[in-house]
Amino acid sequence: MNRVTPAEARRLAEGALVRWGASPAVAACVARHVVDAELAGHPSHGLKQLPRYRELSLRGQCDLRAAPTILDQRAASTLIDGGRGLGHPALALAVDSAARAAHELGVGVAGVVQCGHAGRAGAWAERGLAQGAVTIVALGGSEPPFPMVARAGAAPAMHTNPLAISVPARGEPLLLDMATSVVAEGKVMLALARGSMLPPGAIVRSDGQPSTSPSDYYAGGSLLPAGGYKGYGLSALIEALAVSLTGADAPGRSPVDGALVICLEANVFRTESDLRTSAEALRSRIRGSGHEGEVLAPGDPEARARRSGHIEVDDETLKALREDDADFAERG
């Protein structure tokens, strides 16, 4: 593994994305996001995603140059077209639009259609929170060949359809950031690269038998839903919100991936100070509930990871990001 500073990681990420065809604005947005994912302790959604974005671009499945556009805007709602590009710029615009409406009206909502991979969902909830809004983010898709989550004994029918929710507290915010599968697909990719196994109950092989080997997933296996039928139901309704409600599956739109962002002004029901006090009490109750050892509250893992301040990158990813780096720098 290679240790790099956040500034160096951002420079490498931006340079690679621009060489691969992204606009400077898109490259900067995505680079900030993947570096933040690394710092938050989620390398599965960090720098290792960049070569995958390049492959999607080469296959014509993602336009790295695309910038989001507003299709419709009303007092409390905004509908955004991601333009078949990476989802990061579109989600940034969606959160900012919803947060702005929340400040004016108490609540704001934004939908995104034709939304490519948008990275770590929790980052978008954190973005809304930084603007003073309790934020809920749902990301969903349904277009083949990407469905990857299956109930036991069934064919894959769902994406990992993540959900993120952020609420301010006295200290660090409370933050839920979860795939509706036992593990996110990016964590399977990371386990494969590191030669490590997955937890039992996370995947099945192509024949439906349980496995802990990430290679079995990429050989036609499936992810399993978190919480059995309850997680599967949650995944289905996230798709209904992010795709059916927003119109991401309307004729002519591709990929059939969408997002729904809901922002609530922190003082919409009570003073923000009282909200923060209550949320902090909730966190304290969770942390103090363990009989042996500590119990982490939602958001604790990310907050702790950020304290390290360094990023470790594997040789393969670093080589991909540095490819032709010197020549690119000389060209300006």
pLDDT top residue among 154 and 260: 260
Asked whether 107 and 118 are in contact (CB, 8 A), the reply is no
Q: Is the pLDDT of residue 330 over 60?
A: no
Class of residue 54 by CB neighbours under 10 A (exposed 0-12, middle 13-18, buried 19+) = buried
Q: Which pLDDT score, from 0 to 100, does residue 155 have?
A: 85
Q: Which residues contact 315 (CB under 8 A, 6 or more apart)?
A: 1, 2
Using CA atoms, how far residue 276 sits from 128, 170, 174, 252, 295, in Å, is 16, 5, 10, 44, 20
Q: What count of residues does the chain have?
A: 332
To the nearest whole number, what is the mean pLDDT of the chain? 93
Domains of the chain: 1-65+299-332 (1.10.1530.10), 72-181+226-297 (3.30.1370.60), 189-224 (3.30.60.50)
Which three-class secondary structure state does DSSP give residue 305?
A: helix
**pLDDT tens figures, 284-312:** 999 999 998 889 999 999 999 999 888 99
Q: Tokens for 314, please give them.
A: 């594997």
Please tell me the predicted confidence (pLDDT) of residue 143: 67
How does strand 77-85 pair with strand 107-115?
Answer: parallel
Q: Give the residue-averaged pLDDT of 270-274.
A: 98
How close are the terminal C-alpha atoms of the chain, in Å?
A: 29
Structure tokens at 210: 């349980």
158-215 confidence digits (pLDDT tens):
999 999 999 999 999 999 999 999 999 999 999 998 999 999 999 999 999 999 999 9
